[in-house]
Amino acid sequence: MARPTSSYDESDARIRPNKRNSRPRSKDRPAHLDAVPGMVTAVDRGRYTVLVSDSDADDGGVGVDGERVVTAMRARELGRKGIVVGDDVALVGDVSGSPDALARVVRVHPRRTLLRRSADDTDPVERAIVANADQLVVVSALANPEPRPRLIDRCLVAAYDAGMSPLLALTKADLADPAPFLRSYAPLEVPSVVTSTTDADGTDGLEALRDALRGRVSVLVGHSGVGKSTLVNALVPDALRAIGVVNVVTGRGRHTSTSAVALRLPGGDGWVIDTPGIRSFGLAHVDPERIITHFPDLEAGTDECPRGCSHDEEECGLDAWVASGQAGPAGASRLESLRRLLRTRQIQTGD
C-alpha cells in the first residue's frame, strides 16, 4: 500500500503469511501471529472495510499493486479498543475478500496520529475520528455559506492536537475575494489553497490542491455546503466505487455512512479521507502544550511560565518574551493568534 510511512515494525514483517511454506499453527501460537496486515478505509455499523495487499496474502503471486477489500468485524480479544478509519490492523479468519467472507480484526497497530473530537468542550468523552493521517484539510467556502472563523480555528486546534499539519482549502472564490480572509489567517502561517468551480464544470485551483495532497494522508473536514463533496469528486472521480465501499459497506450508491471514508488518490499517490459535514468540533481533550509545539517561535518563551500555564493568563511568560523581541517582528500577532486558538475552547457559541 502506498503509505508515506509505514508503522509496521519488524515483527510485523516477519508474520506476513507465506502460503508456500506456511507453518501449521500450534495451539500455543497466538492468532495474531498468522495475521494479514491491512488498512481500515471505512467503518459502518460494526463492520470494517479493510484494504489488504494481495501480495501479503499470495506471497507475491499477484501484482504488487493488487489489493482487495476485506470486510471484517472486531475480534473479542481486542476488548474495548476502538478501530477507526486509517488504522493499520491485523486480520485473521477469512481474508479472501469474497462477498460473504468475514475476517476478524485482532490487532490495531500503534497510531502515528489521532484526530479526535468531543461532543462539546465540557464532554470528557472524546471520539476518535481518523488515525494515522498527516494533514487536516479544513474546507471553508469564501461565501455561501460565509466562513466561520471560530469553527475553522477549532479545526486548526484539533489538527495541532492530533499531530497533523493543517491546510486551509478555500472554495467558491468565484463568489468572494479570498484576500481579506487570507489576511486574517496570515499570522498563523497555515498553508492554503483557493478553489472555484468554473462554467466548464471544472475546478480552478485543483492542481494546487493535488500538489498539497500528494504523498500524504489528508483528512477533509468542513461544514455542510462548503463544497467538500465537489472537491472530493474532482480529486477522486468515481471515488466510492474505486474502493468497493458501495458494495461492501452500504450497498447503496452513495456514502451514507456517518463516519469517515478513505479514498486513494489517482496514481496511488496519497489518500483523502472524507468526513461527514460538521457543525461543531468539541475540544475538551486538548492540552495547551500540544498546541504551542506548533508555534516554535513562541515555545522557547514558555520557560518563564508558571507550571500548568494555559498561555492565556496574566502570569504567562510569553508576553515578556514577545515584548523583548525574542519572537521576532511578527511575535505579537503570532501570540495573539495562538491565544485566539487557545480561547476557542472556552467559547460556546454553537459554531
Ligand X SMILES: Nc1nc2c(ncn2[C@@H]2O[C@H](COP(=O)(O)OP(=O)(O)OP(=O)(O)O)[C@@H](O)[C@H]2O)c(=O)[nH]1
Distance CA 68, CA 28 (A): 30
Binders of Zn ion in range 308-337 (CB under 5 A): 309, 311, 316
Nearer to ligand X, 253 or 329 (CB): 253
Nearer to ligand X, 182 or 309 (CB): 182
* Binds 344: which of Zn ion, ligand X, none (CB < 5-8 Å by kind): none
Determine the longest span between alpha carbons in the chain, in angstroms: 69
- Least Å distance, CB 142 to ligand X, is 9
Residues 24, 216: contact at Cβ < 8 Å? no
- Least Å distance, CB 225 to ligand X, is 5
- Least Å distance, CB 175 to ligand X, is 5
Distance CA 175, CA 342 (A): 31
The contacts of residue 194 (CB under 8 Å, 6+ apart) are 142, 170, 173, 178, 205, 208
Residues 281, 158: contact at Cβ < 8 Å? yes
- Least Å distance, CB 261 to ligand X, is 13
Distance CA 226, CA 169 (A): 10
Nearer to Zn ion, 131 or 316 (CB): 316
Interface residue list for ligand X (CB under 6 A): 171-172, 174-175, 195-197, 222, 224-230, 277
Binding-site residue numbers are 171-174, 222-230, 305, 309, 311, 316
* Binds 224: which of ligand X, Zn ion, none (CB < 5-8 Å by kind): ligand X
The contacts of residue 339 (CB under 8 Å, 6+ apart) are 311, 312
Nearest-5° Cα angle at 68, 107 to 219: 65
* Binds 101: which of ligand X, Zn ion, none (CB < 5-8 Å by kind): none
* Binds 334: which of ligand X, Zn ion, none (CB < 5-8 Å by kind): none
* Binds 316: which of Zn ion, ligand X, none (CB < 5-8 Å by kind): Zn ion
CA 233 to each of CA 169, 196, 230: distance values in angstroms, whole numbers, following the listed order: 15, 14, 5
- Least Å distance, CB 310 to Zn ion, is 7
| Interface residue list for Zn ion (CB under 5 A) | 305, 309, 311, 316
